[in-house]
Amino acid sequence: FKATKNLDALLGKDLGALRDIVINANPAQPPLTLLVLHSLLCQHYRVLSTVHVHSSVSSVPPQLLSCLGPKHADSYARHMFQLGFTLIWKDVPKLEMKFSIRNMCPIEGEANVARFLFKLLAPYPSDAAVATLVDTWVDIAFYQLADGSAKERAAVLQALGSALGHAPWLCGPEFSLADIACYCCLSQNGSTSATAANVQRWIKSCENLGHFGPAKLLLK
C-alpha cells in the first residue's frame, strides 16, 4: 500500500484526543472484512483496539471477544494512540459505524464501513473507472457472494474467474479492497474449494499476503 499517514488530512483537525471509531456488529454475523482491515490499520497506525459486549446481547463466544488480538501493552493510556477501534457486539439488524457523531450520520452496512476504513490505509485509485470497479466488486461480494443464492454465487465465481484471467488481482495489478471483500465473503460461505484454477491461484495469493489471519480464526 501507499499508506496515507496523515490522519489530520483525512479525518479533519486534531482535537487533542483519541479518534475513536465505534463499530456495532451482530455476533451472529462477525464482520470478517473489518477484522482484516483492523489488522492492516494496526500495521500503519498506533491503534487502541477494544472489544465490548452490549447489554442487548446476553452471551458471546470467546473467540469473538479476542478477535482483535491481544491487548496492547499501553492500552491503559488512551491518549498515546492515534486511532481507536472499538468493536461492540450488539443486537443490531445491520452493522453500523459511528465516528464523528456531530458531523456524520451512523454508517450502515459492512461494505460501506470497509470502504471508509480502507481509505485510511490507502487512497482509492485515481482513475474513476478503476475506482468504480473496486466499488462494484465490493457490492458484488456482499450482495451476491455473501447473501446470494447458489445460482448467483456460481455466476460470481465465473465472473471472478474471467476477471482474474486478465490480471493478478481483481482490479488490475494492485491488491485492493475488492480482493479483501471477495476473499472474505467467499470464505465465509466455505465455497473456496470447487472453483476454477484462476480463482484458486488468486485465493493462494491472498493467503500468502498474511492479512487474513484474524478472519481465518473465526472461520469454522
Partner 1 sequence: MTKEEANGATEEEQQAQSKKALKKQQKEAEKAAKKAEKQAKLAAEQQSAEEDDFAKDRYGVSAMVQSQQKLDRALVRVEDLTPQKVDQLIWLRARVHTSRAKGKQCFLVLRQQQFNVQALVAVGDRASKQMVKFAANITKESIVDVEAMVRKVEQKIESCSQQDVELHIERIFVISQAEPRLPLQLEDAVRPDGDGEEEGRATVNQDTRLDNRVIDLRTTTSQAIFRLQSGVCQLFRDTLTKKGFVEIQTPKIISAASEGGANVFTVSYFKSSAYLAQSPQLYKQMCICADFDKVFCVGPVFRAEDSNTHRHLTEFVGLDIEMAFNYHYHEVIDSITDTMVQIFKGLRDNFQTEIQTVNKQFPSEPFKFLEPTLRLEYTEALAMLRDAGVEMGDEDDLSTPNEKLLGRLVKEKYDTDFYVLDKYPLSVRPFYTMPDPNNPKYSNSYDMFMRGEEILSGAQRVHDPQLLTERALHHQIDLEKIKSYIDSFRYGAPPHGGGGIGLERVCMLYLGLHNVRQTSMFPRDPKRLTP
Cβ proximity of 48 and 18 under 8 Å: yes
How many residues interact with partner 1 (rule CB under 8 A)? Answer: 24
State the minimum distance, in angstroms, from the CB of residue 85 to partner 1: 13
- Is residue 216 part of the contact set for partner 1 (CB under 8 A)? no
- Is residue 56 part of the contact set for partner 1 (CB under 8 A)? yes
State the minimum distance, in angstroms, from the CB of residue 77 to partner 1: 8
Q: Report the residue number, 19 or 153, with the smaller CB distance to partner 1.
A: 19
Q: What is the spatial order of strands in the sheet that 96-98 belongs to?
A: 83-89, 19-25, 96-98, 107-108
Q: Report the residue number, 16 or 93, with the smaller CB distance to partner 1.
A: 16
Neighbours of 120 (CB within 10 A): 20
CA angle 136, 103, 26 (to 5 degrees): 55
- Region for residue 183 given its phi and psi (left: phi exceeds 0; alpha: psi -120 to 50; beta: otherwise): alpha
Closest CA to 114 of 167, 185, 219, 50: 185
Residues 160-179 that bind partner 1 (CB under 8 A): none
- Region for residue 138 given its phi and psi (left: phi exceeds 0; alpha: psi -120 to 50; beta: otherwise): alpha
- Is residue 93 part of the contact set for partner 1 (CB under 8 A)? no
- Is residue 105 part of the contact set for partner 1 (CB under 8 A)? no
- Is residue 144 part of the contact set for partner 1 (CB under 8 A)? no
State the minimum distance, in angstroms, from the CB of residue 115 to partner 1: 20
**Which residues of the chain form contacts with partner 1 (CB under 8 A)?**
15-18, 20, 22, 24, 50, 52-56, 76-79, 86, 88, 90, 98, 100-102
